[in-house]
Amino acid sequence: MATRALHETFTRTAAAWGGRTAVVEPGRGEIDYAGLDGLAGRVRDRLVALGVRRGDRVGLYLPKSIDGVAAMLGILQAGAAYVPVDPGAPAPRCAYILQHCDVRLVVAEAGLADRVRPELDALGARPGWLVVEAPGGGHGLAAALDRLDAASPAPAAPVQYPAGDEVAYILYTSGSTGRPKGVTLSHENAVSFVDWCSATFVPTADDRFSSHAPFHFDLSILDVHVPLHHGARLVLISEESGKDAMHLASLIASQRISCWYSAPSILALLAQVGRLEEHDARSLRLVLFAGEVFAVKHLRALTARWPHPRYFNLYGPTETNVCTFHEVPLPVPDERTAPYPIGTVCSHLRARVVDDAGRDVDPGAEGELCISGRGVMLGYWAQPELDARAFLVGDDGTRWYRTGDIVVESAGVGYTYRGRRDRMVKRRGYRVELGEIEAGLYRHAQVREAAVIALADEEAGVRIRAFLAARGGARPSLIEMKRFCAANLPMYMIPDQFSWCDELPKTSTDKIDYQRLKALP
């Protein structure tokens, strides 16, 4: 199959479905396909006028909005790769990301731009800016472009169609050394995934997709690009409403969403506090979840309340996007407690299970899941040493991405997830390297030693506990530590519990003894 650029189908869809609604931003406005294509084209022209060229990276630093979707498409049309940055993350982390992948320009909300600019200056980075005063409904972006056009119109620039192996976007995920790492994905990676979704979920122009995940999260690739390939409607759920489980059911009902996709944690909350009985969710035909294990008792409650959609457990790291899937057979039996399998490998990928030495294990034995194929990332941006560790190269030269996930394969159901081989955990669907939290804690002036462990928790999925030893006598209060973390780490990385020790337990080789920490009360 010939590879096309990620935005190539959108151009055709926009021509075919011009007057149909493309994106809705509840409470802020909506835009049809022709309008979205027009706005994206204006972004493309302006970016090119500002010096962006095919192969460049462009930061996307906007709250979730129609403006953000149009900017994303405009960046792609300019032949550049988009780098979505979490508007809620601390400015130093955002600046690191923008500087690390050497963005040519940042499309940013004004307040966010003000916050990150001094940090970028300090790093010696001087990207260009397309500043949007008040993003929302596409109006802020249009006004920003109007202002620039009034001063000097941007000449029309042709749509670029990068080759399959050129970079489409970079998603930064938690890195064990304390710095996020840039998962670099090509147009072919993205398109092969979108095509798999199309074949599996058969979207039509009548579908309405939720966009619950933020744009810097890999779930957003399905959310945004699948509906836009099919003339369907994308319903943006803002960061704030996305967390508000008590009101999500009314949003699903009022927007008549047909395909829902999110991490299980919000669905678990929806099942518990969502007042599902008060809202008509008959429009839902698909409920997709990914990013972490869905506790069976909450899945049972959700499916009992909403028995009509099909439920799919999608599994895959950012490096491959979804690579295995499993349709949950309904009803969920009362006696079941074991989580559902992650299922069988997607048709555009191949899977194998290996031991520590990289040899295939016997069928039915535990091992690390490795993935190859068109969906597997190009690598980590500017970190070849990480690439070398991430891939197992087969005898025939095939690159197999080592997921770090321990699985077991069984006949009929495919793969079942058993655990991790490293210190990465999933929280609210996000990847969290415990080492990155530790590195954050060490930045506190009073912290002499820090170690973080993850504990299984039926309610929250995973609970993060930090052990600290203070420099000198005074121990910062719990509130102070939480505030310090809030200023230095993304919210989903803030430990749930802090425990102070005089000294952390050590192994005979003087390393922190995590096993003993796990045994502490």
Partner 1 sequence: MTDAIQSAVKEFIMTEFLPGEDPDELTPTTPLVTGGILDSIATMKLVLFMEERYGVRLEAHETDPEHLDTLVDIAALIRAKRG
Binding residues (CB under 8 A) for partner 1: these are 240-241, 243-247, 250, 265, 269, 273, 428, 459-460, 477-480, 482-483, 485-486, 491-492, 494
d(C-alpha 381, C-alpha 172), whole Å = 9
Structure tokens at 390: 């991430």
73 sits in which H/E element:
helix 66-77
Question: Sheet harboring 447-457: ordered strands across?
Answer: 447-457, 461-470, 497-501
Least distance to partner 1, CB of residue 295, Å: 13
d(C-alpha 95, C-alpha 116), whole Å = 6
Neighbouring C-beta atoms of residue 19, cutoff 10 Å: 8
Q: Is omega for the bond preceding 476 within 30 degrees of 0, making it cis?
A: no
Least distance to partner 1, CB of residue 316, Å: 24
Least distance to partner 1, CB of residue 52, Å: 34
Q: Which is nearer to partner 1, 402 or 427 (CB)?
A: 427
Q: Which is nearer to partner 1, 4 or 463 (CB)?
A: 463
Q: Which is nearer to partner 1, 22 or 481 (CB)?
A: 481
Q: Which is nearer to partner 1, 311 or 484 (CB)?
A: 484
Least distance to partner 1, CB of residue 69, Å: 22
Neighbouring C-beta atoms of residue 144, cutoff 10 Å: 23
Structure tokens at 496: 């749930």
Q: Which is nearer to partner 1, 240 or 334 (CB)?
A: 240
d(C-alpha 440, C-alpha 489), whole Å = 7
d(C-alpha 120, C-alpha 112), whole Å = 12
Q: What is the chain's Cα-based Rg?
A: 23
Q: Which is nearer to partner 1, 269 or 354 (CB)?
A: 269
d(C-alpha 39, C-alpha 36), whole Å = 5
Least distance to partner 1, CB of residue 242, Å: 9
Q: Which is nearer to partner 1, 169 or 492 (CB)?
A: 492
- Taking Cα atoms as reference points, which of 307, 226, 217 lies closest to residue 265? 217
Least distance to partner 1, CB of residue 430, Å: 12
Q: Which is nearer to partner 1, 170 or 485 (CB)?
A: 485
Q: Which is nearer to partner 1, 478 or 520 (CB)?
A: 478
Q: Which is nearer to partner 1, 305 or 475 (CB)?
A: 475
CB 22 within 8 A of CB 10: no
Least distance to partner 1, CB of residue 489, Å: 8
Residues in the chain: 521
Q: Cβ neighbours of residue 193 under 8 Å, at least 6 residues apart?
A: 221, 222, 321, 322, 348, 375
d(C-alpha 117, C-alpha 129), whole Å = 10
Least distance to partner 1, CB of residue 502, Å: 17
Q: Detail the DSSP E strand segments found in 46-203.
A: 57-61, 81-84, 105-109, 128-132, 167-173, 181-186
Least distance to partner 1, CB of residue 247, Å: 4
Least distance to partner 1, CB of residue 244, Å: 5
DSSP 360: B
CB 187 within 8 A of CB 236: no
Beta bridge partners of 82: 58, 169
